[in-house]
Structure formats: C-alpha cells, structure tokens
C-alpha cells in the first residue's frame, strides 16, 4: 500500500484490484466453469468492457469434384473449382457489456477507529472484496442458469430419477461431441442424495466416502457441492464444461478522501462487472430445475 503523503485524496485502485483478484480466486463458486477473472483498474469506458473477434460462419463439408468437366477441365461446363463453392470467412467485433455495479462507501474516524488508519483501510478492502465475491458468485449462478442451452427437470431426489437424469445428460454431451471436462455444480440437497444412493458401492468401483461425505465423480461428471444461495430460485444444479465462462470487473475508482464531517477519511470505490460466454458454448451448459423440500 502506498505511503501516506498527507494528500487530500489517496488512490487504491491497484491494491483493490490485487485483493479482489486474490479473494475471488480462492472463494469463487462455479470455479471450474470460469476462465481467469479479468480485472482492470482505472477503466474509462462506461458500458463496454472489451471486444471479442467472433465468427458465425457455419462449417461446410463438401466433396472434391473429379468429373471430366470440373475445375475448368474438359469443356469447362462444370464447377469453377474442384474444391466446391468458396465460402468467405469473416470475423466481427462483438462488444461485451458490463451488467452490474459494485460500490464501497465507508467512513474511518481517526478518533474512534482504534487502529492504524492504513491497516484499517487494508482490512476493509479485503472484507469488501470477500463480500463482493459472494455477490459475484450469485450473479454468475444466475448467468449460468439463464445461459443454459438445455434444461432438464428433476421431479424428486429418488435414486431412480437421479440416475435417469445423469444418463440423459451424459447422452446429451456425447451427442453434442463435447470433449472438455464437465462438472456439475449442485445444491447440497442433491449432492447428498447422490452420496446416499445405494448404487454407489465399492463393488461398482465407486469411491464414495460416507465418513467424509465425499464423491468426486458420478457418470463421468465431477461433482461440486455449491452453496444453495448461489443458485437462482428453481435451479438446483448446473452442468458446465471447464473454463468457458469469462468473469470480469472494471474498477473506476478506489480512494480515500478527507472527510469534513468527522476527523478521518471516507473509503470509496466504484466498479462495474459482468460475465460472458460465447453463444456457441451455451448449448454445452445444462441446468437442472426442481424443487427442494
């Protein structure tokens, strides 16, 4: 943290960025589904976070023509090219927008804070980063649920229904030819229902541990028990390949300014955040709906 130069305003963008990045890396829910969080300080764009080069040209698989009149051979009445029709490939700029805000507004009075002011500011930035990470977890949970290209309903947590769900989703991923590792982020109630299934036995090669309430994988999917509060209402689980979602935060300001109402400083920060996934990858996200009794 910079040395105090008795300035009326002190900047803390870099410190806030570093703390938020570290805390998010440790406490992020849905961590496997996320690419590394992108955090910028001193952002100037008020809406656009960044641009991506995207391409929506479908893949066309043709056949190589070898007829006597193809490719300009013979009488020239065939196709112009033996490779078939020419498809032009172009990329477009896709702007990614911020979709939520983060803010800090706290006061530290030298007369009452009962701690070194710089140490207190560092503590508050860390605690704020933890709180804002939890807020981002909730945003990411809703984003995954909304972005899912496939929805499956689970009527109840009986073993028969749970096995049928996993079999159906497994077939879905195989048919979609998804080759990336896939994890299921699930509420504790569904996680425990899987742990308690009688089919998970050592005779079938299962590594379930009742002592530690643990099961690493089921039907080829990594199981990640996730706090219920990070799922939107009605969503009880989300299947997602690893690393396909990009979370990002742009820090507009993080500062302390001398207060006139009391003997101390006001700690203020403003940031904008969002989450992004390519449209083509949304079909690789499956959400499970149901009711927890």
CB 277 within 8 A of CB 246: yes
Q: Which one of 45, 74, 90 terminates a domain?
A: 90
| More confident site: 229 or 41 | 229
Res. 212: pLDDT tops 60 = no
Examine the domain organization and report whether 170 and 285 are in the same domain: yes
Q: Which of 108, 132, 113, 103 is nearest to 268 (CA)?
A: 103
Interatomic CA distance for residues 256 and 24, integer angstroms: 23
| More confident site: 171 or 203 | 171
How many angstroms separate the Cα of 168 from the Cα of each of 78, 82, 164, 216?
47, 42, 6, 20
60-119 pLDDT tens trace: 566 667 777 777 677 766 667 877 788 888 887 778 888 899 999 999 999 999 999 999
How many angstroms separate the Cα of 161 from the Cα of each of 169, 231, 289?
12, 21, 13
Examine the domain organization and report whether 135 and 147 are in the same domain: yes
Is 96 domain-assigned? yes
User: What's the residue count for the chain?
Assistant: 293
Examine the domain organization and report whether 187 and 231 are in the same domain: yes
Examine the domain organization and report whether 156 and 77 are in the same domain: no
Examine the domain organization and report whether 168 and 75 are in the same domain: no
Is 247 domain-assigned? yes
Token pair 């930035």 is at which residue? 125
Is 2 domain-assigned? no
CATH number of 38's domain: 3.90.1690
Structure tokens at 84: 């078939």
pLDDT at residue number 149: 96
220-248 pLDDT tens trace: 899 999 999 999 999 999 999 999 999 99
pLDDT at residue number 42: 76
| More confident site: 8 or 194 | 194
Examine the domain organization and report whether 99 and 222 are in the same domain: yes
151-202 pLDDT tens trace: 999 999 999 999 999 999 999 999 999 989 999 999 999 998 988 876 555 5
> Averaged over 43-59, what is the pLDDT?
64
Examine the domain organization and report whether 66 and 148 are in the same domain: no
Domains: count for the chain:
2
Torsion of CA 141, 31, 276, 148, to 10 degrees: -50
- What's the domain range around 80? 59-90
Examine the domain organization and report whether 248 and 269 are in the same domain: yes
Examine the domain organization and report whether 74 and 130 are in the same domain: no
Is 1 domain-assigned? no
Question: What is the C-alpha radius of gyration for the chain, rounded to an integer number of angstroms?
Answer: 26
Is 4 domain-assigned? no
Q: Answer yes or no: pTM beyond 0.85.
A: no
Confidence of residue 205 (pLDDT cuts 50, 70, 90): very low
Examine the domain organization and report whether 32 and 139 are in the same domain: yes
Beta strands in 130-172 (DSSP E): 150-153
Is 3 domain-assigned? no
Is 123 domain-assigned? yes
Is 182 domain-assigned? yes
| More confident site: 17 or 7 | 17
Examine the domain organization and report whether 220 and 78 are in the same domain: no
Examine the domain organization and report whether 192 and 172 are in the same domain: yes
């Amino acid at each position: 943290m910079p040395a105090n130069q008795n300035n009326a305003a002190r900047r803390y963008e870099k410190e806030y960025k570093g703390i938020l990045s570290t805390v998010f890396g440790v406490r992020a829910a849905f961590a496997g589904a996320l690419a590394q969080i992108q955090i910028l300080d001193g952002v100037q764009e008020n809406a656009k976070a960044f641009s991506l080069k995207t391409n929506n040209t479908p893949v066309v698989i043709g056949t190589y023509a070898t007829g006597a009149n193809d490719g300009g051979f013979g009488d020239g009445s065939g196709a112009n090219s033996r490779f078939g029709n020419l498809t032009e490939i172009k990329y477009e700029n896709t702007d990614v927008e911020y979709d939520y805000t983060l803010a800090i507004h706290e006061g530290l009075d030298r007369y009452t804070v009962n701690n070194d002011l710089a140490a207190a500011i560092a503590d508050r930035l860390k605690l704020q980063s933890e709180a804002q990470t939890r807020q981002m977890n909730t945003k990411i949970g809703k984003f995954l649920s909304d972005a899912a290209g496939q929805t499956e309903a689970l009527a109840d947590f009986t073993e028969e229904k749970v096995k049928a769900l996993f079999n159906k989703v497994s077939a879905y991923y195989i048919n979609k030819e998804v080759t990336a590792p896939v994890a299921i982020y699930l509420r504790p109630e569904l996680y425990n229902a899987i742990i308690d299934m009688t089919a998970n036995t050592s005779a079938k090669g299962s590594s379930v541990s009742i002592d530690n309430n643990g099961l690493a994988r089921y039907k080829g999917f990594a199981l990640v028990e996730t706090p219920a509060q990070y799922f939107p209402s009605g969503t009880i689980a989300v299947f997602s390949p690893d690393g396909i979602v990009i979370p990002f935060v742009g820090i507009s300001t993080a500062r302390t300014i001398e207060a006139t109402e009391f003997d101390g400083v006001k700690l203020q920060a403003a940031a904008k955040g969002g989450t992004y996934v390519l449209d083509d990858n949304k079909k690789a996200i499956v959400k499970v709906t149901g009711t927890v009794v």
